[in-house]
Amino acid sequence: MLLRLLAVLGLAVVGASAGPTRSSKLVFLNEENWTDIMKGEWMIEFHAPWCPACKDLQKAWNAFADWSDDLGIKVGEVDVTVNPGLSGRFLVTALPTIYHVKDGVFRQYSGARDKNDFISFVEDKKYRVIDPVPDYKHPNSKQMAVVAVFFKLSMAVRDLHNHLVEDKGIPSWASYGLFAGVTLALGCVLGFFIVIIIDQVFPTGPRKAQQAKKSEKKDSKKDSGTESPTKKNGNNNNTKETKKTK
């Protein structure tokens, strides 16, 4: 009897340490399939494996996902450590972050984080009182696509820094110095090209004076090549008068 009780307790401990059971209804979103949320109604959670608050939410979120068919919605999640571009598109600055999406209209959820609260939020259409994300912050807009690229670059730089420090044994200060030098060099090169482009489009100094002289010469040539109508009429009248006198 005692052995059986110990076995049951052991299984309970193992089950608790393994974490909440993942719902089969939960949709994993990534860089390739995230546009699926533009159609229909969704609830999306952004999380990270290292985030304690995200771990606390997992049980309620998976239980909520089990209700997705009954509610007529889809429930998804995004791991920001694997999909930094999506973190940029949605401007995720805190974890966990939850969004409600209906037919391409995005609203950030800020209510209580319990299964029943999520269900009530969808059933009672409480999202109607929340202002939608403005157009300039819309995840599918061009400007947010640019932000997504910068988030990806920042994640790539961080991964490279960790690789240099942890795998190659380079000191942190040396890695930071390397990135600072590369950043300054790229800034100088880009600045040089920008100055050249501006100088070509909006010339200043002697080049501007030369262009002004050229335009004046063109204008004077046009003026000399065309006579005014009054002059032509005057010449015609003079010729008629000379014919009459004859």
Q: Which residues are tagged catalytic?
A: 51, 54
Collapsing DSSP states into helix, strand and coil, what is residue 110? Answer: coil
The alpha carbon of 185 is separated from its chain's Cα centroid by a whole number of angstroms, namely 26
CA 164-167-170 angle, 5° bins: 45
The alpha carbon of 227 is separated from its chain's Cα centroid by a whole number of angstroms, namely 60
CA distance 126 to 117: 10
DSSP type of residue 107: E
- Please state, as a whole number, how many other Cβ atoms lie within 10 Å of the Cβ of residue 117: 14
Token couple for 121: 């939020």
Query: 98: Cβ–Cβ under 8 A, 6 or more apart, which residues?
Result: 43, 44, 45, 46, 108, 109, 113
CA distance 51 to 12: 24
Nearest to 152 by CA among 164, 144, 142: 144
CA distance 47 to 159: 19
